[in-house]
Amino acid sequence: MSRPVAEWLERFETAVTAPTKADWKSVFSEECYWRDLLAFTWDIVTIEGQAAIAAMVLQQSARIGAGGFTPAEGTLPMSDDTQGWFTFNTATARCRAHVQLRDGRAHVLLTAMVELIGHEEIGGSRRPDGIAHRAEKGRRTWLDQREETARTLGHSVEPYCLIVGGGQNGLMLAARLKRLGVPTLVIDALERPGDCWRVRYRSLYLHDPIFLDHFPYLPFPDHWPLYTSKDKIADWLEIYARAMEIDFWGSTLCTAAQYDEKTGEWTVTAKRGDETLMLRPKQLVLATGLAGAKHVPHIRGAENFAGRQYHSADHGSGAGMADKRCLVIGSNNSAHDICVDLWEHDAQVTMIQRSPTIVVRADTMREGAKTLYYAQPGADIDLADLMFAAAPFRPRLASEKGFTDYLRQVDAAFYKRLADSGFQLWHGEDETGFFMAYYRRAAGYYIDVGGSELIASGEIPVQHGEIDEIVADGLCMADGTFLPADVIVYATGYRPMHEWVSLLISPEVAGKVGPCWGLGSGTAGDPGPWEGELRNMWKPTAQQGLWFQGGNLMQSRFHSLHLALQLKARMETLPTPVYRAAGAAG
Amino acid sequence: MSRPVAEWLERFETAVTAPTKADWKSVFSEECYWRDLLAFTWDIVTIEGQAAIAAMVLQQSARIGAGGFTPAEGTLPMSDDTQGWFTFNTATARCRAHVQLRDGRAHVLLTAMVELIGHEEIGGSRRPDGIAHRAEKGRRTWLDQREETARTLGHSVEPYCLIVGGGQNGLMLAARLKRLGVPTLVIDALERPGDCWRVRYRSLYLHDPIFLDHFPYLPFPDHWPLYTSKDKIADWLEIYARAMEIDFWGSTLCTAAQYDEKTGEWTVTAKRGDETLMLRPKQLVLATGLAGAKHVPHIRGAENFAGRQYHSADHGSGAGMADKRCLVIGSNNSAHDICVDLWEHDAQVTMIQRSPTIVVRADTMREGAKTLYYAQPGADIDLADLMFAAAPFRPRLASEKGFTDYLRQVDAAFYKRLADSGFQLWHGEDETGFFMAYYRRAAGYYIDVGGSELIASGEIPVQHGEIDEIVADGLCMADGTFLPADVIVYATGYRPMHEWVSLLISPEVAGKVGPCWGLGSGTAGDPGPWEGELRNMWKPTAQQGLWFQGGNLMQSRFHSLHLALQLKARMETLPTPVYRAAGAAG
């Protein structure tokens, strides 16, 4: 650790351990952000400004008992005269931290819990023996134990934690809870782990390069392709569930859940095949993905359409669509991918774009991603995740605008061709582009994997504006254009995730908890007030015992740790004093 | 690299590149061993002595074209003033090497091929993209390709390589061949990968700690237990086959194989369910394990036994054996494990020991193994395997005797108690103990995981000597002792591996190829002449196109690379001049 950072660390330690006497102006710069992942707040928050930071530390310091601030060992990236890594403990946990200085004061501070003291994950030096080398009557083998768990968990033995949704989100969390010894059951409406991917359209591939996509504990082999087919990632989910010994019930539909505040227990109704079971976990995690039910806008006359019409979720493949006149309503990822798939199968495809769309080229993103620490051979993924987390959302606004400028420059010819073809391009209402659109509403963009060229070259014509009516043989646009059609695909997105709460639990609880995802940016689809972190994700919600686990593979990998730590701490009844700013709700 | 080693390397390079003028006495010490894994000899050999080394280099040097001798980069273990690592190339391959000096000359040299130039494995920087980011009619997804392979391989498309046996040996080799682009089919008589473990007795666990057991490319997660149950390793085989996309046919019995010298092609008859298929691979690998068919010695009167008698391979579990009088014939691993299992299920067990047995305590082995580089956090497994390989078998005789002395000392009390109970202990006829017994005949020992204590304490009595006769209600020993019995278990081992050759191919080919495994030590069960490496394993045999892949997990991992490189080189018709010492057969 460089001397300036070490000197700052001393000042920080002094302030944190005696907050009533602290001179925060000497520790944090005017504009400052403290992003805390559980360490100080038992919450996922970014606290902005000296005053708010002072208030937080004043409230939390004694409850948390932070100490042992120590420069990190070894040579780490993001370490120089203006930034560095350190570790510390609280009364309950080991933590890692990174600070970025401006004029010797913290501009951005990240503090992150990584491990509970005395309740560590098994693994590494805590690896179990598996067997005792002595004869012993009544000894049970690994298989005996697995069979017993399969027989009893969810029946005579209640899981402490029930995860609804066995996609990558549910499985990664379950893997972490397994290593923490938290009895967990994962249920999923589909039969096998990975089916959530298998049911999607045949041509789907992951948009993120593989080095961002690793699951905890079991990295992909290094010949794994850079971009993974949905069927291959599906197989990986199944492999992962098995390797991690995750207790998974497929073909099991969660139909209702009710929380008893007195007992602190959920009663969850689950239909498993013909059986209806009542599960009584203490903690309920919804890992049903960012998307709720399919959203199909009501369009006048849709019921009169004589052809085939379906939601994008029901698109399997363009096979058999040759020469069919296909209208795809929407202009985001699914819309583009389905347009390409239909075109590849010789359909006559028209895209109906209802609003401007952010487009980024996958190949450009790939080049950018290659420079990330994640992509370096032998990268420490846990460290990489922390490095990524060291950029809170608010200061990212400026850098994302910069990234937009960069894209405009390197892909100028591409954007010009696309715009010239009539496609309505933008970079978001404040020009923060793709990443912010993802964090704000997880929609509104296309990661170009080939569709834009078809549009730019006129292979796929684009119609704009509002739709007036659907008739038996086509669709009338508001401007009077008639589009004849054999097939209409609604690539119109999904209902919001938190509607599941309303459906499964109650509208009251849904109202109390509020929306999930989004930053409160005040832009369309992401109403304020500013939250600074993704709403309700991986952190305590207004409903005790209810949690949300979701996001892309990167987020799911990283934040499943934080959710797992919170659940384990509660199971062990460790103190978990969640910080609530004065005047805040909840 | 230290100066003395660097100076030696210069002398070595000079000698190797101009062998007619070489002064080998200045390069190798009087007693010297050059272990070569394909690099110079396209064989797995240890060449002993200056004269033999000179002869080998003289024959191979020009054919191989070795050059580019360079000290290895970085700080590696086993590097000091007397030893060090270097790399070199041949015309076809990249190689790694390690030398151990005595008085400035090589006492032991290891040279090992690691990669074919221009035919490298995919992986790392050669990772495929998986998808091209452009629309393309007729494009096939990952699933399309997998489905096509499943449909065609072994039917309209012949595998270049057919592996008979889908245990860890077959799967590891198949995984390597997959990354090398060698079309390979694995067939196994049992239904699923891992079934070879699932059918074994319920209480079986791996005897090697997990850090020795990693499969190539997909390390076990670090919470994996130190000792793995056979059912868990079975699951891993299934996981591995899937993750590596190995083309595996279960429930497929190989019944015959014939080689056509003219076409260089095998005709292999395989029964897959009700179908009989003819496969025509160029290369046939037997990966059926070290064991052949069950060996049950003929004992007079066995047909008159009124109770249950079965081979150890058919022992599932001791459940239901309470109070049964069980005789277990044999005193090696299986015999002990089955005795323990029966005792744990309250049977009355007697072991019949027919010859002295090497016993090592698993817990002592574990402590020893912990000091290996393999066990260190973050160990590079490829390097660890090379470090292990840097000890050829002949010089290991002395160190194994030393290990015997060490065991006698640290486990003196244990051995005394066991011997006092009447159990016939030894450390092999030349006191080289467990490891050499494994390499010589893969039998003759017990890795104590609890059985010895039952014997020492008298819980399991031991009878010695020859068996005279089996009668309806028991067994008569040659000394006249009568042992009443309800159950007789024959833990009497297996027929030798190479009998498969006789059964599947022909007695002529079996005779030509000769036995597999064993070093030619001249000790019982391992007839001479001295071979210095394991006979016929992972290397060219006297039958073109016939190969043997086997051994424990460590060996299988390491040597599957060598076998894969040989097969790939032949598929690519690279020159593979196998060294044959003057006067040697074949």
pLDDT in tens, A139-179: 999 999 999 999 999 999 999 999 999 999 999 999 999 99
Is the confidence at residue A289, as pLDDT, over 90?
Answer: no
- Cα–Cα distances (Å) from B63 to B109, B184, B574, in that order, read 20, 29, 12
Q: Which residue is listed with tokens 């994996």?
A: B224
Residue A538 is classified by DSSP as S
Percent of chain A scoring above 90 in pLDDT: 95
The tokens of A176 are what? 């972490």
Residue B371 is classified by DSSP as T
pLDDT in tens, B188-199: 999 999 999 999
From B541's Cα to the closest Cα of chain A, the distance in A is: 31
Closest C-alpha among B90, B488, B42, B439 to residue B299: B488
- What's the CA gap between A317 and A322, in Å, rounded? 11
DSSP lists the bridge partners of residue B353 as B464
Residues with Cβ < 8 Å from B298, sequence gap 6 or more? none
Residue B222 C-beta-side C-alpha neighbours within 13 Å: 14
Q: Which residue is listed with tokens 């709720």?
A: A292
Helix (H) / strand (E) containing A340: helix A333-344
Beta strands in B169-209 (DSSP E): 184-187
From B381's Cα to the closest Cα of chain A, the distance in A is: 14
pLDDT in tens, A371-404: 999 999 889 999 999 999 999 999 999 999 999 9
* pLDDT on residue B564: 98
- What's the CA gap between B174 and B185, in Å, rounded? 8
Please report the DSSP string for B549-577 in residue order.
Answer: --SSHHHHHHHHHHHHHHHHHHHTT----
Q: How confident is the model at residue A582 (pLDDT cuts 50, 70, 90)?
A: confident
Q: How confident is the model at residue B586 (pLDDT cuts 50, 70, 90)?
A: very low
Contact at CB, B449 and A131, closer than 8 angstroms: yes
Contact at CB, A229 and B130, closer than 8 angstroms: yes
The tokens of A167 are what? 């996609």
Give B-chain residues touching A203 at CB under 8 angstroms: 139, 141
Please report the DSSP string for A252-284 in residue order.
Answer: EEEEEEEEETTTTEEEEEEEETTEEEEE--SEE
Instruction: Compute the average pLDDT of residues B567-585.
Output: 89
Q: Which residue is listed with tokens 């370096």?
A: A376
Helix (H) / strand (E) containing A248: strand A248-249
Closest C-alpha among A193, A195, A197, A189 to residue A245: A193
Total residue length of chain B: 586
- What's the CA gap between B336 and A89, in Å, rounded? 49
Give me the sign of the Cα torsion angle B21, B27, B33, B34.
negative
- What's the CA gap between A100 and A77, in Å, rounded? 13
Instruction: Compute the average pLDDT of residues B544-552.
Output: 96
Helices (H), B244-379: 333-344, 362-370
* pLDDT on residue B583: 61
Is the confidence at residue A539, as pLDDT, over 80?
Answer: yes
* pLDDT on residue A584: 55
**Residue type, position A392, single letter:** P
Residues B95 and B114 sit within 8 Å (Cβ to Cβ): yes
A73–B contact, CB cutoff 8 A: no
Contact at CB, A130 and B450, closer than 8 angstroms: no
Instruction: Compute the average pLDDT of residues A469-497.
Output: 95
- Cα–Cα distances (Å) from A551 to A45, A169, A431, A556, in that order, read 17, 7, 23, 6
CB B169: neighbour CB atoms within 10 A?
30
DSSP lists the bridge partners of residue A294 as A494
Is the confidence at residue A586, as pLDDT, over 90?
Answer: no
- What's the CA gap between A110 and A219, in Å, rounded? 26
The tokens of A381 are what? 């993924």
Contact at CB, B377 and A243, closer than 8 angstroms: no
Percent of chain B scoring above 90 in pLDDT: 95
The tokens of A174 are what? 């379950």
From A94's Cα to the closest Cα of chain B, the distance in A is: 19
**Residue type, position A469, single letter:** E
The tokens of A279 are what? 């599960």
* pLDDT on residue B498: 83
- What's the CA gap between A340 and A350, in Å, rounded? 11
B228 torsion bin: left (phi>0), alpha (psi -120 to 50), beta (else): beta
Strand order across the A105-116 sheet: A44-48, A28-37, A105-116, A93-102, A83-89, A67-71
Contact at CB, A129 and B344, closer than 8 angstroms: no
Q: How confident is the model at residue B584 (pLDDT cuts 50, 70, 90)?
A: low
B231–A contact, CB cutoff 8 A: yes
Strand order across the B93-102 sheet: B44-48, B28-37, B105-116, B93-102, B83-89, B67-71
From A216's Cα to the closest Cα of chain B, the distance in A is: 9
User: Which among B130, B139, B450 is the nearest to A226, CB-wise?
Assistant: B130
**Residue type, position A123, single letter:** G
Is the confidence at residue A227, as pLDDT, over 80?
Answer: yes
Contact at CB, A121 and B362, closer than 8 angstroms: no
Is the confidence at residue B164, as pLDDT, over 90?
Answer: yes
pLDDT in tens, A111-128: 999 999 999 999 998 999
Is the confidence at residue A199, as pLDDT, over 70?
Answer: yes
B239–A contact, CB cutoff 8 A: yes
With a CB-CB cutoff of 8 Å, which residues 380-399 of chain A face chain B?
Answer: none
B410–A contact, CB cutoff 8 A: no
Per-residue exposure over B209-219, b if at least 16 CB sit within 10 Å of its own CB, e if not: bbbbbbbbbbb
* pLDDT on residue B497: 83
Packing angle, helices B393-410 and B412-420, rounded to 10: 80
The tokens of B97 are what? 């090497």
Shortest CA distance from B347: residue in chain A? A137
- What's the CA gap between B561 and A107, in Å, rounded? 52
Is the confidence at residue A290, as pLDDT, over 80?
Answer: no
Residues B336 and B203 sit within 8 Å (Cβ to Cβ): no
Indicate whether this complex's ipTM tops 0.90: yes
Q: Which residue is listed with tokens 């991603």?
A: A369
Mean pLDDT of chain B: 96
Residues with Cβ < 8 Å from B56, sequence gap 6 or more? B34, B36, B40, B41, B47, B579, B581
**Residue type, position B437, single letter:** A
Give A-chain residues touching B136 at CB under 8 angstroms: 344, 450
B27 torsion bin: left (phi>0), alpha (psi -120 to 50), beta (else): alpha
B582 burial level (CB within 10 Å; 0-12, 13-18, 19+): exposed
Q: Which residue is listed with tokens 């894969």?
A: B564
User: Which among B126, B218, B225 is the nearest to A129, CB-wise?
Assistant: B225
Instruction: Compute the average pLDDT of residues A274-302.
Output: 93
Question: Among the listed ranges A341-345, A450-454, A469-473, B72-76, which one has the minimum average pLDDT value?
Answer: B72-76
Closest C-alpha among B48, B70, B52 to residue B60: B52
Q: How confident is the model at residue A585 (pLDDT cuts 50, 70, 90)?
A: very low
B558–A contact, CB cutoff 8 A: no
SS3 B311: strand
Interface test with B, best of A120, A142, A215, A345 (most B CBs within 10 A): A142
Residues B216 and B560 sit within 8 Å (Cβ to Cβ): yes
Shortest CA distance from A459: residue in chain B? B135
Contact at CB, A346 and B137, closer than 8 angstroms: yes
Shortest CA distance from B370: residue in chain A? A125
Residues with Cβ < 8 Å from A573, sequence gap 6 or more? none
From A242's Cα to the closest Cα of chain B, the distance in A is: 8
Contact at CB, B226 and A130, closer than 8 angstroms: yes
pLDDT in tens, B15-60: 999 999 999 999 999 999 999 999 999 999 999 999 999 999 999 9
- What's the CA gap between A288 and A282, in Å, rounded? 19
B65 torsion bin: left (phi>0), alpha (psi -120 to 50), beta (else): left
With a CB-CB cutoff of 8 Å, which residues 106-165 of chain B face chain A?
Answer: 121-139, 141-143, 146
Closest C-alpha among B131, B223, B23 to residue A450: B131
Helices (H), A128-229: 142-152, 168-179, 195-198
From B6's Cα to the closest Cα of chain A, the distance in A is: 29
Give B-chain residues touching A205 at CB under 8 angstroms: 130-131
Q: How many CB pairs below 8 A link A and B?
A: 176
Q: How confident is the model at residue B496 (pLDDT cuts 50, 70, 90)?
A: confident
* pLDDT on residue A496: 86
- What's the CA gap between A289 and A310, in Å, rounded? 21
Contact at CB, A225 and B129, closer than 8 angstroms: yes
Packing angle, helices A553-571 and A168-179, rounded to 10: 40
- What's the CA gap between B421 and B423, in Å, rounded? 6
The tokens of A540 are what? 């305590």
Q: In degrees to the nearest 10, what's the CA dihedral of A119, A122, A123, A129?
A: 140
Q: How confident is the model at residue B585 (pLDDT cuts 50, 70, 90)?
A: very low
Is the confidence at residue B71, as pLDDT, over 80?
Answer: yes
Mean pLDDT of chain A: 96
Helix (H) / strand (E) containing A367: helix A362-370
Residue B34 is classified by DSSP as E
Residues B183 and B224 sit within 8 Å (Cβ to Cβ): no
pLDDT in tens, B403-418: 999 999 999 999 999 9
Give A-chain residues touching B223 at CB under 8 angstroms: 121-124, 126-128, 179, 217
Residues with Cβ < 8 Å from B152, sequence gap 6 or more? none
CA angle B515, B520, B526 (to 5 degrees): 70
Residue A80 is classified by DSSP as B
Residues B574 and B549 sit within 8 Å (Cβ to Cβ): no
The tokens of A222 are what? 């290094």
